[in-house]
Chain A
């Protein structure tokens, strides 16, 4: 499903190469749930952005379903992302002033889809994420947990196989984090591939994870098969 080969990412600062990611190799099978651990600044977000094609690696490649993501031109990459990858962000990233239902529709819109079909799909996704009762609320009227479940709905509305989460519970209390995790579990049981960057210990208790990968100083420290 996801294969990462010799991935490097560096920034040049004063002519000095500053490696954020240094020779990452990782492969994730379809339906697996992988936890990316690491201290703040270790490069988790950077790795996820490169997997999602939101950022370009300095060298190396990411292959998803046989496609070298980092090599795709924008038009294809965007389509690929819309269809195959759902992203859940640390700070929710819902569009302000737009209600949850419409926010959930956004990934479908670029795909020239009819309005009714888009609304139906969005409502379904909201049901899966246990948040359909807030479909008509705008983000400022929602709690952090509700926003994050809305973000899950948006991430899965286009029925992607790969879902990336970047510190999804960082802004949630324990109760909401557990609700979020139960939504994740549903996705897992649907056969979705999950990659979750987090340093929230709550994920230690996760009963369906396959791998815990620790990043430190730009390298993968050790991988534990759960």
Chain B
């Protein structure tokens, strides 16, 4: 009996979420992104190195490291 209600709330939440995220995108993301885009090439779209392999730098070799999500 609650299913239609939950489904409605979920859909409603998703719509609101999408609107909010659109606002966030143009208000909060935009200024950072415009600067970021100008200085960084994190996706290597501009540079073309002779090899796209780079050293593996992640450190995750102890239980302590492994408890982290980053």
Is chain B found bound to chain A in the same assembly? no
- Seen from chain B, the residues whose Cβ lies within 8 Å of a Cβ on chain A are none
